[in-house]
Structure 1
Amino acid sequence: MEGITVQSPHARTAFACSALLLATLTACAGAAEADTRKPTAPEGVTAQAGSATSAHVMWERASDNEGITGYDVYREGKKAASVDAAKLMTDVDGLTASTAYTFTVRARDAAGNVSAPSTAVPVTTPAAAPADATPPTAPVELRGTAGGGGRTVTLSWGGSTDDVGVTSYDVYQEDSRIHSVAGTGTTARLTGLRPGTVYTFTVRARDASEKSSPDSNAIDLTTPSAPAAPASTAPTGLRTRTTAEGGEFAVDLSWDQPDTGGTIPAYQLFLNGKMTTTIVWGGNPPAGRATYRLTLPDPPGTRYSLKIRPKLPDGTWGDFSAQRTVVLRG
Structure 2
Amino acid sequence: MRRTPPPRPLRAALGATLTLAALAALTACAADGPDGPHAPVGLTAQAGSATSVHVMWNSAPVADRVSGWQVFQSGRLVRELPADKTMVDITDLAPQTAYAFTVRAKDADGRRSAPSATVDVTTPVARAEDRRAPTAPPTTTGRAEGPRTVRLDWGPASDDTGVTAYDVYQGGVRIHTSGGAERGTSLGGLQPGTAYAFTVRARDGADNSSPDGPAVAVTTPADPGQGPGTAPGAFTATAVPGAVELGWTAPDTGRATSEYELYVDDRPVTVIQFGTGAVPSGRAAYRLTASEPAGTVWALKLRARLPDGNWGAFSEERRITLTG
What TM-score comes out, normalization by structure 1 length?
A: 0.63
Q: What are the equivalent positions in structure 2 for 1:292-303 lying under 5 Å apart?
A: none
- Contact 1:232/1:319 (8 A) holds in 2: yes
Asked if 1 retains the 8 angstrom alpha-carbon contact of 2:193 and 2:231, the reply is no
CA distance in 2, matches of 1:196, 1:216: 25
Tell me the equivalent position of 2:68.
Answer: 70
Q: Is the 8 A contact 2:259 2:273 kept in 1?
A: no
Q: Aligned residue for 1:90?
A: 88
Question: Residues 180-191 of structure 1: matches in 2 within 5 Å?
Answer: 180-191=177-188
Residue equivalent to 2:129? 131
In the alignment, the residues of structure 1 paired with residue 259 and residue 223 of structure 2 have an alpha-carbon distance, to the nearest angstrom, of 30
What are structure 1's unaligned runs of at least 5 residues? 1-34, 235-257, 266-276, 280-284, 293-306, 325-330
Distance in structure 2 (CA, Å) of the matches to 1:43 and 1:147: 20
Pick closer, same or farther for the CA change 1:211–1:226 going to 2, 3 Å.
same
Which residue in the other structure is 1:54 paired with?
52
Other-structure match for 1:206: 203
Give 1:260 deviation, angstroms. Answer: 2.6
Match of 2:212 among 204, 209, 215: 215
Q: Name the residue aligned to 2:114.
A: 116
Give 1:1-330 correspondences, 5 Å limit: 37-63=35-61, 65-148=63-146, 150-227=147-224, 233=231, 260-261=235-236, 263=245, 291=269, 314-315=283-284, 319-320=304-305
Q: Describe the shift of the 1:259–1:174 C-alpha distance in structure 2 as closer, same or farther (beyond 3 A).
A: farther
Q: Call closer, same or farther: CA 1:290–1:175 in 2, change over 3 Å.
A: closer
Name the % identity. 43
Alpha carbons of structure 1 residues 287 and 43: separation in structure 2 relative to 1, 3 Å: closer
TM-score (norm 2): 0.65
The amino acid across from 2:283 in the alignment is D
Take 2:263 and 2:97, find their aligned partners in 1: how far apart are those partners? Answer: 62
CA distance in 2, matches of 1:61, 1:226: 19
Q: Which residue of 1 aligns with 2:19?
A: none
Q: Helix, strand or coil for the counterpart of 2:58?
A: coil
1:229-273 per-residue CA deviation (whole Å, 9 max, x = no partner) reads 767548xxxxxxxxxxxxxxxxxxxxxxx98325459xxxxxxxx
What RMSD in Å do the two structures reach over aligned CA positions? 3.4
Give the unaligned 5+ runs of structure 2.
Answer: 1-32, 238-244, 248-257, 286-301, 312-324
Aligned length: 238
Residue 147 of structure 1: how far off its partner (Å): 2.1
